[in-house]
Structure formats: C-alpha cells, structure tokens
Amino acid sequence: MSTIRQQDFIDSIEDALQYISFYHPLDFVQALEKAYNKEQSKAAKDAIAQILINSRMSAEGKRPLCQDTGIITCFVKVGMDVNWDKTDLTVQQMVDEGTRRAYLNPDNPLRASIVADPAGTRKNTKDNTPSVVHIDLVAGDKVEVMVAAKGGGSENKSKMVMLNPSDDVAEWVEKTLPTMGAGWCPPGMLGIGIGGTAEKAAVMAKESLMDPVDIHELIERGAETTEEKLRLEIFERANKLGIGAQGL
C-alpha cells in the first residue's frame, strides 16, 4: 500500500495548471503543423500560423496561451490500495486548493472565470474554484490525475442529442458543426461520447479530449475497428465543410 501526501497532491495540481497555461501538448502542435501544411485557404493558413507563433511565444515567455484560462476539469483515478497521509480534505477540496494556488500565482496570475450563485448574483469567486472533478476508484496503489483548463468558448458550444438506433452519428456531427460558429476557435478537437446515460455520454466526450491527437497516424495506417472507421468518417465530413482556422 502506497501513501500519497496531501501536500504533494496539491502541489502537483498547482504545477500542472501553471504548466498547461503556457505549454501546448506536443501532439497538438505537431497536428497543427500538419494542418498548416495541408491548408489551402490563405486566410486560414495565416490564422494557423498565428496560433503556432503564439504557442511558441507563450512557451518562451511562460505566459498564458489565451486570455481565457479556462474552467478546470480534472479526472482523478484513485487506486483502491492508496493511503492518504491526511484525510481532512476531500479530493475535490485538494484539487480546488491546487487550482486556487495556481490561479493566484503572482509570477503568472491566471484569469478567474468561475462564479458563485450562477442563477442569481453571479459573483466571481476570484480564484477559479470550484473546479470540476471526476473521481474513479480503480485497482492498484497509485493516483493518476489528468487536468484540462477548458475554455468557455469551446465549452459553451457543447451539444447533446438523443439519437435513434437508426440515426447516423457522423451525419449529425456534420449537420451540427456549421451551427457552432467560430466561438470554439477552430481548428479544434471533437470529443464525442456515445452510449450510456446522458451524463455518462457527456463525461466520456470530455475525457476523450485527453487522448493523444493521433488522427494523422490513423489515416496513414487505416481503420481497424468500428470506432476508428467512425473517427475517419467524421474527420472527412468535418473537413469537407470548409470551416477553416478561426472560422475563415
């Protein structure tokens, strides 16, 4: 049985949130470079170039990639054999404390976007808490944490639909994308959850965004499963719509 120190967990959340505020994942940058090389529209190509330049400037200057520094979404997998050195804080409270410290870091303060009493006074909490935490108890003696700072522009474009068994998922995606405008700042990634209950599908969609960006590798080797075939079909349909970077 391993022991996880509460302070280490909180520090890790803080460090991770500061890190992702100014570093794009490498797989995203590489995918964007491939998109840049394939883009035919000059305006869209220029927009991708600006994103890549901004990415480099943020990494070098350690400043936020975007003025919208996101709603914190955290997936925590806790091993059943894990022991915590302190139990005065819940996992939610520990994530919130790490979030609070990250967003109030004087060396790189991040914009707080969360409000309390969202149906009433909508007063900003000033530290971007509470975060959204999904906890899963799994086998083992380790704790795995995946964090994302989900921008409001893309989060507010989330869609949910109840389809009949005979309906076509790829067709629905193709019809839906043009209705979303440019507020989600394309080029982007589509996270799609299929099956289960409504809330389960939504969580699966969000968690899928944590997967590696490997669509170009999938295109090269070809689909082997039903899911991979659907991914390629959606990718092809989405790109045929002609919605370029930043909607250009």
pLDDT for the residue 244:
84
* Cα dist from 208 to 6, 202, 205, whole Å: 28, 10, 5
Q: Name the CA radius of gyration of the chain, rounded.
A: 20
pLDDT band at 84 (very low <50, low <70, confident <90, very high): very high
pLDDT for the residue 166:
96
pLDDT for the residue 93:
98
Whether the CB-CB separation of 72 and 132 falls below 8 Å is answered with yes
Whether the CB-CB separation of 246 and 44 falls below 8 Å is answered with yes
pLDDT band at 229 (very low <50, low <70, confident <90, very high): very high
pLDDT band at 120 (very low <50, low <70, confident <90, very high): very high
Integer Cα distance of 32 and 44 in angstroms:
12
Query: CB under 8 Å to 78, separation ≥6 — which residues?
Result: 91, 135, 136, 137, 138, 143
Whether the CB-CB separation of 62 and 110 falls below 8 Å is answered with no
pLDDT for the residue 248:
77
Average pLDDT, whole number, for the chain?
A: 95
Integer Cα distance of 34 and 214 in angstroms:
12
Query: CB under 8 Å to 111, separation ≥6 — which residues?
Result: 64, 67, 68, 69, 103, 128
Which has the closest alpha carbon to 31: 159, 189, 137, 149?
189
Rounded to an integer, the average pLDDT of 39-68 is 95
